[in-house]
Amino acid sequence: MEEIRILSPTAILGYGFPESSFQAALAKNPHVIAVDAGSTDPGPYYLGSGISFTDRAAVKRDLALMIPAALERKIPVIVGTAGGCGADSHLQWCIEIVREISKEQGLTFKMATISSEIKHDDVLKNMAAGKVKPLHPAPELTRELVDQSTSIVAQMGVEPFIKALDMGAEVILAGRAYDPAVFASLAVKEGFDPGLAIHMGKILECAAIAATPGSGSDCMFGTLRKDHFILEPLSPERKCTTLSVAAHTLYEKTNPLILPGPGGVLDLNQTTFTQATENSVMVKGSRFVPIPADQKYTIKLEGARRVGFRTVSFAATADPIMIRQMDKIVEGVRARVKSNFNHLDEKSFFLDFKIYGQKGVMSMFKGLPPASEHQPAELAIIIEAVAPTQSEANTICGFARSTMLHYGYEGRISTAGNLAFPFSPSDFKAGEVYEFSVYHLMDVDDPCQYFPIQMKNCAKGECHEI
């Protein structure tokens, strides 16, 4: 093959895409339709709870266009990090959607499902053998953290996808995957340069976000040749520029030139970006550097554990006297809560005040410069309580809210209440709270070792193992 053409319909499955862009991409005869379906960006709740952060109806809409279009052209559809996080519960959720589409549209195809959920015992066994190490800033992994994790997944590289393609899969639904692998696998299978394939996949995973104006809900097209690849959006409203593509290359990276991944690193020291046409960019020089022969192939583990229950209250103030003293008031409310519930271990609950308009965003990032000393005209206040039970979280949040509402700060004129509440009830029971408990690398002997593949024949909604 002289080139591989890859269609990335949307930044995340369920984010949608214009049908006009999709049809324009199909007219270019892609060899594969690939899409990333998940991320850790929405936080640990979705992995811990087993719930998708994408909407079911939206995911079904996207797949209902992608799958029949691919089958008609006899090209594969590849989905990575199914269901948002890639645990078995998320994968099954996505499988059921595909079965519905198969039944409703009368479609028949071979489907490969690739699990990425790692058994706790396997993680513990590898820990005991010294094969698990933390990724900064995670601590050393302990048995307690493993046991408390509801699900642990591993990021697969291109190898399980290649194996599924070799088995004749027409639709591939995979658990947690290294984002570029979804797009690079067919190209690597066909012998194209892995450095260029992975770099192109790194950009295609976010679809038209790498165009200008950027959008996570529009298509992007990649054409990979022997010594370069070309990226172009499919909407006439967008174009790729050297700046937009180079900027997106830096996306989610700690090092602008080296991107670690399964089996090696992507080296961008010699990468060049050239404007190929008015709306497309050509990229050259990206190299994949495999791990040294004396090192093990590693996969990244991700896990989440439940740490309590959350209640939040939303409020606002426009009183300049209160705004000037907000830091002092927050400390005073904290002290009242501590005093009123001194029978509780202070470490058993978490109480936080995010003051938007003052430093609600900046306070979450360490090392950034302080917010401006300019006094805002109004502030939004989020009171958050996390405790071992929902009832305790309700109590802590409610007491903090009522204390701030009637807090007697110096110079206060009105005694009717300090805060405005946009909602009634003012407090929201947000339910379970999770935190990432596993963020580690694990050595493996085989890149496919922990990613079992099931082949199924799906005929009008009935799927049976082959």
| Nearest-angstrom CA–CA distance, 420 and 433 | 27
Q: What is the pLDDT of residue 171?
A: 98
Share the mean pLDDT of the chain.
95
User: In the predicted model, is pLDDT for residue 7 greater than 80?
Assistant: yes
Q: Give the chain's length.
A: 466
Written as one letter, the residue type at 347 is K
Residue 406 contacts by C-beta under 8 Å, 6 or more apart in sequence? 417, 418
User: In the predicted model, is pLDDT for residue 360 greater than 90?
Assistant: no
Q: What is the pLDDT of residue 261?
A: 94
Residue 213 contacts by C-beta under 8 Å, 6 or more apart in sequence? 237, 238
| Nearest-angstrom CA–CA distance, 6 and 201 | 9
Q: What is the pLDDT of residue 39?
A: 94
Q: What is the pLDDT of residue 251?
A: 80
User: In the predicted model, is pLDDT for residue 368 greater than 80?
Assistant: no
| Nearest-angstrom CA–CA distance, 368 and 186 | 42
Which uninterrupted H or E stretch holds 330? helix 326-340
- What are the start-end ranges of the H helices in 52-157? 56-73, 88-105, 120-128, 143-148
Q: Calculate mean pLDDT across residues 27-50.
A: 97
User: In the predicted model, is pLDDT for residue 370 greater than 60?
Assistant: no
| Nearest-angstrom CA–CA distance, 65 and 32 | 14
* Cα angle for residues 371, 386, 118 (degrees, 5° grid): 105
High-pLDDT (> 70) share of the chain, %:
97
Q: Calculate mean pLDDT across residues 132-147.
A: 96
| Contact call for residues 57 and 26 (beta carbons, < 8 A) | no
| Nearest-angstrom CA–CA distance, 310 and 391 | 10
Handedness of CA 136, 138, 141, 146 (dihedral sign): negative
- What are the start-end ranges of the H helices in 140-238? 143-148, 158-166, 179-189, 194-204
User: In the predicted model, is pLDDT for residue 338 greater than 60?
Assistant: yes
Tokens of 465: 């193992």
Q: How many CB atoms lie within 10 A of CB 125?
A: 12
High-pLDDT (> 90) share of the chain, %:
90
Given the structure tokens 């379970």, which residue do they identify?
432
Residue 168 dihedral angles phi and psi, to the nearest 5°:
90, 20
Q: How many CB atoms lie within 10 A of CB 13?
A: 28
| β 350-356/379-387 pair status | antiparallel
Q: How do residues 80-101 score in pLDDT, each as one tens digit? A: 999 999 999 999 999 999 999 9
The model's pTM: 0.93
Identify how many contiguous H helices and E strands the chain contains and give both numbers. Answer: 13, 20
| Nearest-angstrom CA–CA distance, 102 and 82 | 17
Tokens of 353: 């005040």
User: In the predicted model, is pLDDT for residue 364 greater than 80?
Assistant: no
Q: What is the pLDDT of residue 210?
A: 97
User: In the predicted model, is pLDDT for residue 70 greater than 70?
Assistant: yes
User: In the predicted model, is pLDDT for residue 187 greater than 80?
Assistant: yes
Confidence of residue 371 (pLDDT cuts 50, 70, 90): low
User: In the predicted model, is pLDDT for residue 5 greater than 90?
Assistant: yes
DSSP secondary structure code for residue 177 in this structure = B
Q: Calculate mean pLDDT across residues 60-80.
A: 98
User: In the predicted model, is pLDDT for residue 21 greater than 80?
Assistant: yes
Residue 148 dihedral angles phi and psi, to the nearest 5°:
-80, -15
Burial 275-298 (b: 16+ CB within 10 A, else e): ebeebbbbbebbbbeeeeeeeebb
| Nearest-angstrom CA–CA distance, 120 and 247 | 39
Q: Calculate mean pLDDT across residues 335-353.
A: 89
| Nearest-angstrom CA–CA distance, 408 and 174 | 57
Q: What is the pLDDT of residue 127?
A: 98
| Nearest-angstrom CA–CA distance, 226 and 27 | 23
Tokens of 286: 């990206």
